[in-house]
Structure 1
């Protein structure tokens, strides 16, 4: 895969980010859970010391899978594992998580009020990367969140290299993205986020190993992106190392903490 010159020189900021995948309770209307997360629960997380950014990613209720069908790759999102939202928590430093234990314990206790399953995916410091792909004044009007599962037998180092050296330049080289963030994850460990009264079932064949946040000018640009030949070609090249690509439509990306400051009201 060739690397477009412009993509090869992308400005990038490296961060220390964790993502908590969330499934809201099913014994109440879905919107009730999403609103509680957006409201009372957000205040608990926002007050956590040591945060650089806290962002909620709200996913559409109907999400069969945006990624084009690819031989040997799961691109249809299984209904029983379809995620409702993701909490993106970016820390100021590797020591910051220890500063927030009190608030983390409050979040543990509050989860049962809104969620039925939560899974924490973490990467080492600097493994979260935010690429500067938007031009001056360009805004994000639509987003997609993509999760990648590494194929059994594929090496972790080879997979990370694929994301950084091939996937990112190819995506940036399309010229249509207004936001591009990537995370590569350490092996999933339940004890990192073993909250009470909430499920953490995560069979090995359901684990994810990386995520991509893709931002577009509007929904039309997002639609066109996923039906373009370049994405199908890229998908075929990913197939030897990737067993699943789940692409979700994002309905909202709400920022509560930005540049280390708690915002008086979330930003979209």
Structure 2
């Protein structure tokens, strides 16, 4: 989906392709302790659904939303992009790049109706070591950030990835990353909204 860049992996290897993402946001750093019963249920059920699961965690305030949509504008298509930090680029410098350079550059394209960045803590298998499910994640396969992009529709999304803005973004990213894995998002399902469990998921 992301155009080829010399020295950057943009083609997603078939055996590392992500088929879905479940995202949980906690109200506080102590909130996970209150959800231990739900966690036990998830541990037992994963084998029925997944072959491999990987958990990337972020510290408080590591996820940022940007106000890019005009009044009444809605999102009709999304893309999710995972970034792998290049060797030699420090974690702090990379977070600063994502938040202070990449996000503004994306916002300035003028085509986005939704923009969100996330930066991750170092991956640790023991944070989510469910039984009977693979968690293999070699060091050179780790991701360090993600970017969620929202567009008016699929045509706008396709135009973004084939337009002129993508070349400037690629030039900014190339010194910082060794991989850019971009996915088109087929559906986004919300199960909890404003802290309340919904009777049925919302799309």
What is the TM-score when the length of structure 2 is the normalising length? Answer: 0.98
Q: Is the 8 A contact 2:94 2:176 kept in 1?
A: yes
Q: Matches of residues 1-268 of structure 1 in structure 2 within 5 Å?
A: 66-268=1-203
Deviation sequence 1:185-207 (CA, Å, 0-9, x none)? 00000000000000000001100
Q: Is the 8 A contact 2:58 2:118 kept in 1?
A: yes
Deviation at residue 227 of structure 1 after TM alignment: 1.1
Q: Secondary structure at the match of 1:176?
A: coil
Deviation at residue 152 of structure 1 after TM alignment: 1.0
What is the TM-score when the length of structure 1 is the normalising length? Answer: 0.75
Deviation sequence 1:136-185 (CA, Å, 0-9, x none)? 22111000000000011111111111100110001011111111111100
Q: Distance in 2 between matches of 1:121 and 1:93?
A: 17
Deviation at residue 236 of structure 1 after TM alignment: 1.5
Deviation at residue 132 of structure 1 after TM alignment: 1.7
Q: Distance in 2 between matches of 1:202 and 1:180?
A: 27
Q: Distance in 1 between matches of 2:191 and 2:161?
A: 29
Deviation sequence 1:80-113 (CA, Å, 0-9, x none)? 1101000011111111111101100110000001
Q: Secondary structure at the match of 2:42?
A: helix
What is the aligned-residue RMSD (CA, Å)?
0.8
Q: Distance in 1 between matches of 2:109 and 2:36?
A: 42
Which structure 2 residue ranges, 5 or more long, are not aligned? none
* Moved >3 Å (runs of 4+): none
Q: Secondary structure at the match of 1:253?
A: coil
Relative to total residues, which structure has the larger strand share, 1 or 2? 1
Q: Distance in 1 between matches of 2:162 and 2:93?
A: 27
Q: Is the 8 A contact 2:77 2:150 kept in 1?
A: yes
Give 1:60's aligned residue.
none
Which structure 1 residue ranges, 5 or more long, are not aligned? 1-65
